[in-house]
Amino acid sequence: MRQVVMAFYILFFATGFMGSAALLLLQKRVRSRILRLLVIFQSLFVVGMGVVMALYGIEGQDTRILLLLATLINTVLWCVVLLIIRRMSIPSKRSRQFPPAAQILTGLVIFKSAANVVLVAISRSGLDGPAALTGTGAWNLGGHVLTGLAMASFGVHIRGPLNPGEPPALRPLLRAYGLCSVIFAPVGLIESVLQSSGISWMTLISLDHLFYMVWNLVSMSAILRLFQPGETGMQFLEEVPQERIKALALSPREAEMAVMIGRGLSNKEIAEQLFISPATVRTHIYNLYRKVGAGSRVELLNMLRS
């Protein structure tokens, strides 16, 4: 059994680091504020699980500092979730007046997690009376219910419409995250019921850990999107839509340049076909990037299509 547990955590950290690397690589190809937040979230995931593993591995010693660190990381994680939800939301008068349920529930989870940080800190100061609240069944059960509702609402929200300011290529990845969150939303509550019923479960692998593992695997799938022509890979561009040419105020030469980029031609090949110097090609491409607001050829093509 011990070997199985060790193998699980080795696999977890391997997939965690690979998931972070995949998101970082995707970020190099696609400019997105949501993607930056997902990179932070994934990194905090791995660090947080490392702290949790240290807590499990220490027996007969004072673990309050590690517990405080783990609780603090959890609070920051949910703050990042709130930022993702806000970035996903499509701006409207209604959203400004009535925040989505996902934002409200996530805010409540942040409040409770922050309260846990304070209570653990109080416990470290020797004031165990107020801190004992964190060990009560009602407090823990309420936390599991609230977290489950927040996860479910986050999953539903992130599978919804994408903010127009974000690249469409992120939609499949976000929907996968959302499905993962919805499926695993009740895991904390289920595990609490199992423990209170005296049903034996793995002592070192919790249902929450299985959720983290699946999340890591979804993050790893980001690397596949780098090679999918229909999403973020290099694609052919037969022509730039007229509405995009007008909206971005592209010149005929810049539109022609975009089509050649879409065909996968290098700067030198473009220069040879147009009978101009490579320096002139670079100038046109620079102006094209600036007008569109792109940072790479792939991002340029994606934005010219939408």
**Domain residues of the chain, as ranges?**
2-225, 242-305
- CA 195/CA 51 separation, integer angstroms: 22
- CA 17/CA 219 separation, integer angstroms: 10
pLDDT of the residue at 176: 92
2-225 adopts what CATH topology?
Answer: Rhopdopsin 7-helix transmembrane proteins (1.20.1070)
Tokens of 70: 């783990």
Residues 238, 258 contacting (CB under 8 angstroms): no
- CA 104/CA 98 separation, integer angstroms: 10
- CA 263/CA 198 separation, integer angstroms: 63
Look up the pTM and report it.
Answer: 0.68
pLDDT of the residue at 107: 93
pLDDT of the residue at 207: 74
Does 242-305 carry CATH code 1.10.10.10? Answer: yes
Tokens of 284: 């046109």
**Residue 64 contacts by C-beta under 8 Å, 6 or more apart in sequence?**
120, 123, 124
Averaged pLDDT, groups of 10, the chain, 306 residues long: 72 88 82 87 89 71 78 93 85 55 92 86 58 61 87 91 71 90 85 68 67 89 63 56 84 85 79 86 88 80 73
pLDDT of the residue at 229: 47
- CA 231/CA 42 separation, integer angstroms: 22
Task: Decide if 2-225 and 242-305 have a common fold.
Answer: no
Q: Strand, coil or helix: what is 42?
A: helix
pLDDT of the residue at 111: 93
Residue 38 burial class via C-beta count within 10 angstroms: exposed 0-12, middle 13-18, buried 19 and up: buried
